[in-house]
Every structure is written in structure tokens, then in C-alpha cells.
Structure 1
Amino acid sequence: MTQTLSDALTDVRRAYRLLWGYQKRILHIVTLIREQLGFVPDQIDFKFELPDDAIQAPDNWMWDALPFSLIGFESTDGTDSRKIGARLLYIDIVSDTGLNDEKARGGGNWEPDPARFPPPEECRSELHLYLLENTRNRRGEIYWHDEVVMRLDHWNPDAKVYDDKGSGVRIYGERIDLSELGTPEALADRVELFRVNANRELATIAGR
């Protein structure tokens, strides 16, 4: 059965309303994770350009108008970042692994086209949760976003610790399917498991 234009526009209105609710839920999840782990908001890492007047150009990347499709939230632990043990929590929202994979393949050379994504049923919506830890005393504070988040190239949520000697930072990450977080209890349990795993793995590699 061929879809009429009226039907398609009804789907668009439905999609906008669904997206509104999804993004609200993401913000609640991010807030609850921060609070449970004891971190405070810092910066937001937008993976696409924020929309401005250039969005009017037909050849502009339309993903710029959908910033929650791929977005990272940075939070600090409130300690002196110059000291060993200071930490940053990084919450990476991957709303569509099809988009994330295609963006990585393109390397910024072309706009990810949904026509090249796998079917939605074969993709996932994920949360990549990272804990970064300062490993050396410093004269000046760490500017986590510019000095670490934007430069550290090892962002694999594979439940292993990466020890970046150059930046003096260790990073531990886990991949969580958003479908696992359907209730507050499920979210709290999964975040607690991450806390236990991250603390254990970071302590092990540090010889603590």
C-alpha cells in the first residue's frame, strides 16, 4: 500500500513528539547517573555543529539540527583536577549505532545518509559510560574538554582500562543498551555495576 503525503506528514508529527519524549528521558537518565556517582555537570560535547544561520542552506548537514542524535555529557567529581585521582565522568549518548558507524566511516568527509544505515531493527540505541582518572600531579588544572576529551583517541567502551601515558589519564568505559534501562531500579543497578567495575579495574592497573 502506497503511503500518501498526508500519511507521511502524520508520521513526521508523530516522530517529533516521540523525539521530544526521548530527549527528555535522556536528560533524566544523565542526571540520575551523575547524582548516583557523585559528579556535577561540566560541558556538553556536541558531535555535530550546532545549528546557526547556515542551516538554511539545502546542502548543510541536517544532523546539525539533531544534536541529541550523538552527544556527550561531561561531569567532574569536584576535586582539584591538578591532583592524582581527580576524575571526569563522560556519558556518551549514541541514539543510533547506524549513524555512529556511518559517521566514523565518513570521517567528516560526507554527511551520514540514513539510506546507507542498516535497518533500524538491526541497530541499537546505546549509552557509553566512561570514567577518566588523572594519574599525575600537575602545576595547572586539567581542562578536561580541550586537553583530554578532544584529544584522547581511545574511546572504546570495551570494559578495559586504557592508560594514556601522554595525557596522564586512564580511561575505563562500558557499553550499555538503552533498552536495559527501562525502570529507575534497572538504571540504578546498572550504574552501580559500572561503578564497581570501573573502580576495580582502575585500581588494578594503578596497583592500588
Structure 2
Amino acid sequence: MTEVKTSLADVRAAYRLIWAYQKRALDTVRLVQELFRGVSFKAWRNNLGNGTPASHVTPFGRDDADFLPIYGTSFLFAKPSVSPGHPREGDWMLEIRIVTDDGINKHLEQTHLGVDPFDKSIFVDPAEAKSLLILIVWKSVEDQDEGTDWVKGIWNYNEWPSDASKANGDVMINEYGSIHSFQVEVPLHDLASRADIEAFVRRSKLVFKDKLGLDIGL
């Protein structure tokens, strides 16, 4: 009984910490959006599950990750286009990713292989894992077909920049050649203040100008 009581106290402490963390994470995303002036919200997605179910949908029998929406999340923003139903040449979308624990990747790979998902030994040690803020710009290099919107028509069907492209500093080009993307990232612990976030965004804009030819403005 004492062990259970102690464990539940740990759970309460953890939830209070997560509450504060998620507020900080969302505030960071909001500030980055503001610094990319003129972009408006398009969609957000839980990258580890299917999203928290709506109130009229039973929560039972779902993936546990569905209830961890800020553990690995993408927020999508774009500038208003003259053709909102389909991006035109030169249009771009900003993806802001929060990766709370990149050590989860090993866990998911092992789980998909049939390993017990509650086996803590398959996680990367928390001290060795990283928490990241990732920015990806997706650029349309040609007019897209009618009805090909940013989220359902492009983002849902294209991969994030590959490990190889990131390692080589290459622009990622989709299989049709119509979408180019590039990624920059920073450990969350390097974003301790507003000034840190502003400096990171300024550096990122310069990278996107160099790699994608986008003059987003400082």
C-alpha cells in the first residue's frame, strides 16, 4: 500500500510538471508563429498516435499515444494564397514540430516488432535522449493541381526530410519534384528565453533563404 501511495504521489508530481511543460511548449510554438509574420494556422497533428478522441468517441481500445498529444506534435502554418485550394509556385508552409523525447523512436520501432510496450528497457535513457524544436519549410516549386491543399494533399503524402538529406545539408525533393523541403532543429534547452527563440528563428530564416530561395524577412 505504501509503495502504491508513493507511486501515485510521483504521478501527481509528474502531471504538474507536464502541465507546465506543455504550456511552455505551446507558448514557444505561438511565438515562433508570430516571428514568421503573416502565417496563419492550418492544422495540428499528434505524430505518435491518432489524436485525442472526440468526446463522443470511446477512449477504450485506442493507442496509449493518442493521449499524449504534445509528446510529438506538428503545427502547420501558411501564408494566405491567391489560390487557397491549391498552392501556387513559390507558396510555402511552415511546420513547427515539438519532439519532447526523441528516445521514443526506439520504443516505437521495438513495439512494432511485437516487444512489450511497457518494457522500460527498450527506451533510450532519458539523459541520453533529446527534446527538440524542429522547423520545416515546405515550398511548392510549381502550381499544384486544383484541390491539392497543403495539409490533405501535400503534407499527408510527403515524408519529412530524410536522415541522409539532413546529414548532407541537402534539400529534400518529393518524388514528383514539385515540393522542396528543408529542416532545422534546436534542443529545447537552448531556448531558455524569448531572446533565444528570436535568435533561432532569425538563423532559421537565413538557412531557408539559402536552401530554398525564400526571403521570409528577418
**TM-score category, normalised to shorter length:** 0.7 to 0.9
Distance 1:46 1:108 in 2: 22
Match for 1:153: what amino acid?
A: E
What residue is the counterpart of 1:132 in the other structure?
138
What residue is the counterpart of 2:70 in the other structure?
68
Question: Counterparts in 2 of 1:71-150, with a 5 A limit?
Answer: 71-80=73-82, 81-104=86-109, 106=111, 112-113=117-118, 115=120, 116-140=122-146, 142-150=148-156
Distance 2:193 2:20 in 1: 15
1:154/1:108 CA distance change after superposition, 3 Å: farther
Deviating 4+ runs (over 4 angstroms): 104-114
What is the Cα deviation at residue 106 of structure 1? 4.8
Q: 170-179 or 98-107: which moved more?
A: 98-107
1:139/1:150 CA distance change after superposition, 3 Å: closer
1:43/1:150 CA distance change after superposition, 3 Å: same
Which deviations, in whole Å up to 9, do the C-alpha atoms of 1:51-109 show, x marking residues without a partner? 4454334xx42211111111100001222353211010001111111113432555597
Distance 1:141 1:103 in 2: 34
State the secondary structure of the residue aligned to 1:145: helix
Residues 1:189 and 2:193 are matched in the alignment: no
Which deviations, in whole Å up to 9, do the C-alpha atoms of 1:121-175 show, x marking residues without a partner? 1111111210011100245254111222111124347243112251611101012
Contact 2:87 2:149 in 1 (8 A): no
Contact 1:33 1:191 in 2 (8 A): yes
Distance 1:112 1:35 in 2: 38
Distance 1:113 1:175 in 2: 29
Q: 12-21 or 46-55: which moved more?
A: 46-55
State the secondary structure of the residue aligned to 1:121: coil
Distance 2:115 2:176 in 1: 31
Task: Tell me which of 208, 211, 215 is aligned to 1:198.
Answer: 208
Match for 2:50: what amino acid?
A: E
Report sequence identity in percent.
21
Distance 2:90 2:130 in 1: 33
Give the TM-score taking structure 1 as reference length: 0.85
Match for 2:126: what amino acid?
A: P
1:140/1:45 CA distance change after superposition, 3 Å: same
What is the Cα deviation at residue 29 of structure 1? 0.7
Residues 1:49 and 2:50 are matched in the alignment: yes
Which deviations, in whole Å up to 9, do the C-alpha atoms of 1:13-52 show, x marking residues without a partner? 1111111111111111111111101221110122212344
More helix by share: 1
